[in-house]
């Protein structure tokens, strides 16, 4: 095991996750992590630089993670996994591989897991994919979203949606100001009380659909505050700007920082412990440090570990790298 660098709250380790589990995590961190948050290599057809598996090889690799994650997770902890779509090699047919992976992961007999909720991240800025069938043959539409799956060991993992509220709509703000609305029975047979919507809760409950850019320019996008703060700001992102200045090609499959912060805020408290077993450039560790959570990140590629250090030069962070190898 090679601890590449440490901060006040966490450590970044260069190692294959399965080896790290066998030699270190299973011995020292059983039932310790409140959240395992990661974007593993996607089951893509063309092998990418960041090392994704393919087909049945990917499925077998992915499924064997289930009992390991379960063993490391606290009883009320959560697993959050971003998983993209896949397509059949050479065919304009969407693969069911990602769904097979999910179902087998959740139902692994040694893991005792259950699927809590599905989230959709819509990003219209994604490049046209699959390119052959979208831009050449022009017989399919663009895959513009990814799935995020929330999984847990318990039916009632620790969570609080009051910590990730969306801003109220203009109409709701107006209603709260006027302190009256059209109460009574609706066609749906719901009976709306005279005071049902007069309490100001600081915002509305978040949806499981993240609209990173507006579907309708005339309509206000109402993402949770921590997601909205990162929406449409990639050009000003410290990490990307620094990579450009230093001639570094950034990791091609980075998780959106706002989404990472949403789940950290939603599912953990300060000082809770978070694991990212496939950290890449370490978005999870960066956000955890910024939000005063403890963290461990694992990445096998030393090139991406170098990029991870850049994140801790960010002036938004109070904590810096304390020790590095």
pLDDT (tens digit per residue) in 224-279:
765 554 544 455 688 888 988 999 888 877 888 889 999 999 999 999 999 999 99
- Whether residue 139 is found in the same domain as residue 220: yes
- Whether residue 137 is found in the same domain as residue 261: yes
Q: What is the dihedral of CA 273, 13, 312, 40, to 10 degrees?
A: -70
pLDDT (tens digit per residue) in 51-95:
457 788 889 999 999 999 999 999 999 999 998 888 888 899 999
- Whether residue 158 is found in the same domain as residue 188: no
pLDDT at position 302 over 60: yes
- Whether residue 113 is found in the same domain as residue 242: yes
Helices (H), the chain: 17-20, 26-28, 55-63, 65-72, 97-106, 131, 170-178, 225-228, 238-245, 257-267, 283-290, 302-311
- Whether residue 147 is found in the same domain as residue 176: no
Omega into 300 within 30° of 0, i.e. cis?
no
Cβ 119 vs Cβ 102: under 8 Å: no
- Structural domain including 196 reads 168-202
pLDDT score for 193: 72
Count Cβ neighbours within 10 Å for each residue of 216-241 and write b for 16 or more, e otherwise.
eeeeebbbbbbbbebbeeeeeeebbe
- Whether residue 103 is found in the same domain as residue 31: yes
- Whether residue 197 is found in the same domain as residue 276: no
- Whether residue 175 is found in the same domain as residue 225: no
Q: Which 8-state DSSP code applies to residue 37? A: E
- Whether residue 277 is found in the same domain as residue 175: no
Q: Which two tokens stand for residue 143?
A: 């895959």
Number of domains in the chain: 2
Q: What is the mean pLDDT of residues 297-312?
A: 91
Q: Which range has the worst mean pLDDT, 63-72, 186-195, 293-302?
A: 186-195
- Whether residue 282 is found in the same domain as residue 312: yes
**What's 91's domain CATH number?**
3.40.50.150
- Whether residue 45 is found in the same domain as residue 82: yes
- Whether residue 139 is found in the same domain as residue 281: yes
Q: Which range has the worst mean pLDDT, 34-48, 159-173, 174-188, 221-235?
A: 221-235
pLDDT score for 231: 47
Domain boundary among 180, 202, 224: 202
Domain boundary among 202, 224, 253: 202
Domain boundary among 202, 222, 253: 202
């Amino acid at each position: 095991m090679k601890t590449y660098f440490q901060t006040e709250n966490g450590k970044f380790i260069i190692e294959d996750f399965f080896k790290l589990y066998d030699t270190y995590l299973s011995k020292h961190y059983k039932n310790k992590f409140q959240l395992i948050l990661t974007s593993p290599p996607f089951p893509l057809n063309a092998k990418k630089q960041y090392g994704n598996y393919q087909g049945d090889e990917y499925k077998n690799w992915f499924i064997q993670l289930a009992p390991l994650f379960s063993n490391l997770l606290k009883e009320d902890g959560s697993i959050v996994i971003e998983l993209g779509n896949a397509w059949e090699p050479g065919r304009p047919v969407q693969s069911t591989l990602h769904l097979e992976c999910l179902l087998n992961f959740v139902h692994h007999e040694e893991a005792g897991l259950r699927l809590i909720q599905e989230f959709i991240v819509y990003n219209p800025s994604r490049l046209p994919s699959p390119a052959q069938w979208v831009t050449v043959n022009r017989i399919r539409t663009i895959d513009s979203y990814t799935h995020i799956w929330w999984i847990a060991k318990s039916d009632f993992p620790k969570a609080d949606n009051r910590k990730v509220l969306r801003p109220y709509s203009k109409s709701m703000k107006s209603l709260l100001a006027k302190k009256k609305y059209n109460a009574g029975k609706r066609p749906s047979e719901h009976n709306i009380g005279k005071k049902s919507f007069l309490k100001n809760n600081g915002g509305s409950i978040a949806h499981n659909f993240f609209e990173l850019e507006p579907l309708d320019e005339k309509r206000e996008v109402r993402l949770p505050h921590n997601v909205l703060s990162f929406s449409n700001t990639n050009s000003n992102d410290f990490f990307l700007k620094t990579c450009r200045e230093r001639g570094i090609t950034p990791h091609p499959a980075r998780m959106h920082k706002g989404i990472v912060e949403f789940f950290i805020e939603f599912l953990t408290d300060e000082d809770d412990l978070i694991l990212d077993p496939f950290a890449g450039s370490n978005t999870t560790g960066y956000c955890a440090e910024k939000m005063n959570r403890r963290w461990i990140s694992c990445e096998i590629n030393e090139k991406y570990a170098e990029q991870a250090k850049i994140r801790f030069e960010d002036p938004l962070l109070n904590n810096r790298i304390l020790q590095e190898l």
